[in-house]
Amino acid sequence: MRDARDRPAPLARSLVGAVATEALGRDLGRAVASGDLLALRGELGTGKTTLVRGLVAGLGGDPGRVASPTFVLHRVYRGGRLTLHHVDLFRLGTEVDLALFALDDLLDGGAVVVEWAELADLDPYRPVRIHLEAPSPDVRIATIEATAPARLRDAFSSRAAST
């Protein structure tokens, strides 16, 4: 068995204020690649859409276009380095039929970010899991899983101390 110390650990980043959540999104947006599926978990109001706004900015798109897709389920942001598909499963509850989104096709031509990823089994799409928590109204803790690609882990930790 491998020694636990050889294995990468999940990385956490403390985010004070929405600006910090957006900055994390920007850092990730610069590193995201076509075929990436970012699965965002986290309770109501923990900053998922705010993170997506940063992602679009980091890709070079227009963050002003980002709105919660809760009522339209799927938004597409073009105009950046690659196309970003923004999916929100909240309205679909636990009966999500993922076939609806043709995720394989979306991942062929861009990256996908999913809000409320805990409502579906995204495992077949090899998601990069990011968890957001709100320990207090002014702070969020973001965690990226240990198995995320180094490119995204590096982006995630790029300014962990300052944000």
Give me the residues that bind ligand ATP (CB under 6 A), please.
15, 17-18, 20-21, 42, 44-50, 68, 115, 138-140
CB contact set of 47 (below 8 Å; sequence gap of 6+): 15, 18, 21, 132, 134, 140, 142
In what order do the strands lie in the sheet containing 139-144?
A: 11-16, 139-144, 128-136, 37-41, 110-115, 83-88, 74-77
Beta carbons of 128 and 37 less than 8 angstroms apart: yes
80 interacts with, out of Mg ion, ligand ATP, none, CB within 5 to 8 A per kind: none
Subset of 26-55 contacting Mg ion (CB under 5 A): 48-49
Among the listed residues 6, 66, 21, 63, the one whose alpha carbon sits nearest the alpha carbon of residue 159:
21
| 49 vs 163, beta carbon nearer Mg ion | 49
Question: Does residue 68 belong to the site contacting Mg ion (CB under 5 A)?
Answer: yes
Using the structure block, give the residue that is written with the tokens 């070079």.
Answer: 60
Shortest spacing between CB 116 and Mg ion, in angstroms: 8
42 contact choice in Mg ion, ligand ATP, none (CB below 5 to 8 Å, kind-dependent) = ligand ATP
Position of minimal CB gap to Mg ion: 49
Q: Which residues are near Mg ion by CB under 5 A?
A: 48-49, 68, 115
